[in-house]
Amino acid sequence: PPPPPHTLRARRLRVAYGGFTALDGVDVDVLPGRVSAVVGPNGAGKSTLFHCLAGTLRPDQGSVRLGERDVTRLSAHARTRLGVARTFQQLAVFPSLTVAENVRVGAEQGWVADPGATERALRLFGLDGPMRASPAAGLPTGTLRRVELARAFAGSPRVLLLDEPSAGLDTGEVAALARVLRALAADGTALLVVEHDLDLVADLADVVHVMTAGRIVTSGPADQVLRTLDPRDTAVE
């Protein structure tokens, strides 16, 4: 059967940690063919929102839908099976597996069984040279981040959630990352990035959401939102 429309839609999300409200009525759409970015200062609630979308945290109130389906109570793993992949702000590769084996894990956990997916992902992220046979342990951070991205991509996701994808990358790697992510969006993937590198956001995003103190205070086309943004509003983590 044809896949459901892969739009991830959060409505009125509310999360409190004890008495502290970390998310307070957040709405966000992650749309096929678009790159949406969430920016905001440290503590604004970006990672909390990310966890609600990925399925690693259940909101106290509100809903997350994937197409027509309510996924609010589904685990991250179950969402991955439905086509929602994510990367971690803290790298989470398997150190004793090789680069290629790490990426294959992503292909196996993914949305569709696609025998070519591992090789395509390795190629797309420049990991198809001799490095593919290296154990992940000891590789530079920038390379590990590409391994993690390739692993998420190898599951053929329709929605890709990226928490601080530029962390640990050098300028050249960030530029390459932007090119790859734009190509994925052009291919119809729905992307959401939580990112503090505003140059990357400007380069990459179609839509920008600015978060402060648990709320989205501004949303709109990237060029408009970024033009009016005070850099102090998104102080680097």
Question: Which span sits near Mg ion by CB under 5 A: 43-51, 72-80, 117-125, 151-159?
Answer: 43-51
47 is an interface residue for Mg ion by CB under 5 A? yes
Q: Which of 62, 85, 86 is nearest to 73 (CA)?
A: 62
Q: Which residue's CB is nearer to ligand ADP, number 47 or number 156?
A: 47
Q: CB 167 → ligand ADP: shortest distance, Å?
A: 12
CB nearer to ligand ADP: give 45 or 106.
45
Strands (E), the chain: 8-17, 20-30, 35-39, 61-66, 69-70, 84-86, 159-163, 190-194, 207-212, 215-221
- Return the number of the residue (46 or 79) whose C-beta is nearest ligand ADP: 46
**Residue range at the interface with Mg ion (CB under 5 A); choices 13-21, 40-48, 111-119, 122-130:** 40-48
* Pairing verdict, β 20-30 and 8-17: antiparallel
Question: Please, which residue, 24 or 114, has the CB nearer to Mg ion?
Answer: 24
Q: Which two tokens stand for residue 139?
A: 């590789």
5 token code pair: 């429309």
**In the complex, minimum distance from the CB of residue 194 to Mg ion, in angstroms, rounded to a whole number:** 6
**Minimum distance from residue 191 beta carbon to ligand ADP (Å):** 18
Residues that bind ligand ADP (CB under 6 A): 17, 20, 22, 40, 42-48
Cα separation, 132 vs 225, in Å, equals 40
Which of ligand ADP, Mg ion, none does residue 48 bind (CB under 5 to 8 Å by kind)? ligand ADP
Q: Which residues pair with 37 in a beta bridge?
A: 193, 208
Is residue 139 classed as helix, strand or coil in its secondary structure? coil
**Residues binding Mg ion (CB under 5 A):** 46-47
